[in-house]
Structure 1
Amino acid sequence: MKWILAAACTAVISLTLAPTADAKGCIKGAIVGGVAGHMAGHGKLGAAAGCVVGHHEANKADANKANAQAPADQK
């Protein structure tokens, strides 16, 4: 019984001290990749790959928005 309490305390401390994760696009990509991977017989691999691709696409979209909003120098 003591190990359950120790594990719970460790989990709470770890979650409160952990830095926040930047998971833009990962959830959506993991769902799509997991479904596609499930159809091919590799659900977990598909979900992991989908997360990576979704995160990359979200970062690319953010960079494009930042470039579009930058004011142009007019002389």
Structure 2
Amino acid sequence: MRFTPLLAVPLLMMSVSPALAKGCIRGAAAGGVGGHFVGKGHAVIGAAAGCVVAHHHYAKQARAQKAAARAHR
């Protein structure tokens, strides 16, 4: 049961595109620290949530930059 996250994390990291991995890593670090301060056992959940939120933020930012580049052509 405790080994499942050890197997799932590398598989999830391989599925993340390299351009957005930076956001996921930053979000996971921030979420892990926040979850650690919330209570025992929440660091992993915080890291997963932080990764998802940061991935969404950077994807939205990348779409906005692409739209701005198309508008300036």
The normalised TM-score by structure 1 is: 0.65
Give the 3-state SS of the residue equivalent to 2:17 in structure 1: coil
Gaps of 5+ in 2: 1-13
**Matching residue's letter, 1:68:** A
Q: State the identity as a percent.
A: 44
Structure 1 unaligned blocks of 5 or more? 1-18
* Coordinate RMSD, CA, aligned: 2.0
Equivalent of 1:26, from 15, 21, 24? 24
Q: Which residue of 1 aligns with 2:56?
A: 56
Scaled by the length of structure 2, the TM-score of the pair is: 0.66
More helix as a share of residues: 2
The aligned residue for residue 36 of structure 1 is 34
- Deviation, 1:22, is 1.1
